[in-house]
Amino acid sequence: MNREKLAWTVSVVLLGLLAFQLPGSMAQRDDDYSFVRTLVDIHRQVAANYVEPVDETKLRESAIEGMLSQLDPFSVYVPPSKQEDFERMLENSFKGVGIQLNQRVEGGPVEVVTPIDGSPAFKAGVMAGDVILKVNGESIDGVRLPDVIKKITGPLGSEVKLTVHHLTGAEAELKMTREEIVIPVIKGFERKADNNWEFYVSHDPKIAYIRIAQFTSDTADNLRQALLPLIGDGMKGLILDLRFNPGGRLEEAVELIDMFVSKGATIVSTKGRNRPETARTATGTNTLPRFPMIVLVNEHSASASEIVAGSLQDNHRALVIGERTYGKGSVQEVIPLDNKGGELKLTVAYYYLPSGRLVHRKKDATDWGVQPQISVPVDAAAEVKEFEQMNQRDRFLRPTTAPTTEESALASPTTGPTTAAAQASSLDPQLQRALDTMVATLVLQGGGIAAAPTTAPAQPVH
């Protein structure tokens, strides 16, 4: 067959294949156009004839939300007006000066619950228990808390002055510049007297406790920076608390797991209808020394926190204690829409643990999430108590000088010193079980522990 006949034959075959494919793609396009025309027609009819005026923007957004409501709760439309807030939510950040406020009685004194570590308020000298008297020289006496917050917030880079009354009795005018506040997500067991974190829940043996509140950018690196001094100090074991952790960035979870498992170990895999199956494996780069490890989870541990707990469990790197996790094991991609139309956060795949188990809880599923090897169920009241205890330990300690004014009496009365073990035993059975299990593990490994563990230095409970 000469070249001309061969070329002609190939062309005929290609045209034949194209003829079979075009009708399907053209039909799909016609269906799309028909749908859009119907949608536009309905929108016009509603806008022109509905009995009351309508908000055009809300109509359009509701039409999109109606379509996505047929999917899962994690597939959502982010309109342009909310994109900035969405990104801040992912990074656990906000604009401001970085203080948590409370007003026990409407119109009463406004008290600083705690400054956020490293925030402008913290750097300016705002302390837990301070009572705010003025904002930019204007008295806030009798002003409701939401209105006080409005006065304190403002554009990034602008300055605000707070006049505060310290628990020590001193009054000060503090200047600070509003910044993007990133809330720290790596936390220890409790605050020391200097308000730095106490990372040991037990000093003999040296058992560290680190809680991760969410997986944001730099979470893995910040965990490493917290662990390295503890390892250098002779840490014997680690309790990693992922309770109440809603997840966050998968990349950070993968990087975190990579610090603990051997090179080549499977970390997690993903698979979707229109996404090829991909497996993430450990690189072996900067792997930390091996030490006993326990991960705490509960029903509010979701997404990336489930990947960390499940992967460390499957790789026989950590013991998991607590309650079965939430079961949010789906992968969302943030897809920018054309013409600056916002973003679409769409579920495109599912997470699978190294054992092949699906993390996600599908409809009518009987098996989902991560099931701890040691189950420690707690009721709703105990769970609330655990969460409140964590929040309490996050706060900076108040100055110990006795109150000298009526405003400073807002401070919660101090009690006698309470050891870490007593707090865990009376308020947190899951943490207590983790501590007991870790001590038993160290004894079995020949730790030579002859007595009960010595807890972290006693701190006043405020």
Does the CA dihedral 393-396-402-404 come out positive or negative? negative
- Separation between Cα atoms, residue 26 and residue 381, nearest integer Å: 59
Q: Is 328 a catalytic residue?
A: yes
Q: Is 269 a catalytic residue?
A: no
Strands (E), 90-243: 93-96, 99-102, 110-115, 131-135, 138-139, 159-165, 171-177, 179-182, 186-187, 190-191, 197-198, 200-204, 206-212, 237-241
Catalytic residue, chosen from 241, 258, 314, 394, is 314
Rounded to the nearest angstrom, the gap between the alpha carbon of residue 128 and the centroid of all alpha carbons in its chain is 24
Tokens 């310290």 correspond to what residue?
Answer: 166
Burial 228-263 (b: 16+ CB within 10 A, else e): eebeeeebbbbbbbbbbbbbbbbebbbbbbbbbbee
Q: Give me the amino acid identity at 48.
A: A
Nearest one of 322, 301, 184 to 244, comparing CA atoms:
301
Catalytic residue, chosen from 301, 328, 394, 408, is 328
- Separation between Cα atoms, residue 64 and residue 76, nearest integer Å: 9
Residue 361: other Cβ atoms inside 10 A: 19
- What residues contact 277, with CB distance under 8 A and at least 6 apart? 269, 270, 271
Residue 250's φ and ψ, nearest 5 degrees, are: -60, -40
Q: Is 362 a catalytic residue?
A: no
Nearest one of 181, 213, 177, 128 to 414, comparing CA atoms:
128
Catalytic residue, chosen from 303, 311, 330, 408, is 303
- Separation between Cα atoms, residue 84 and residue 74, nearest integer Å: 18
Known catalytic residues are: 303, 314, 328
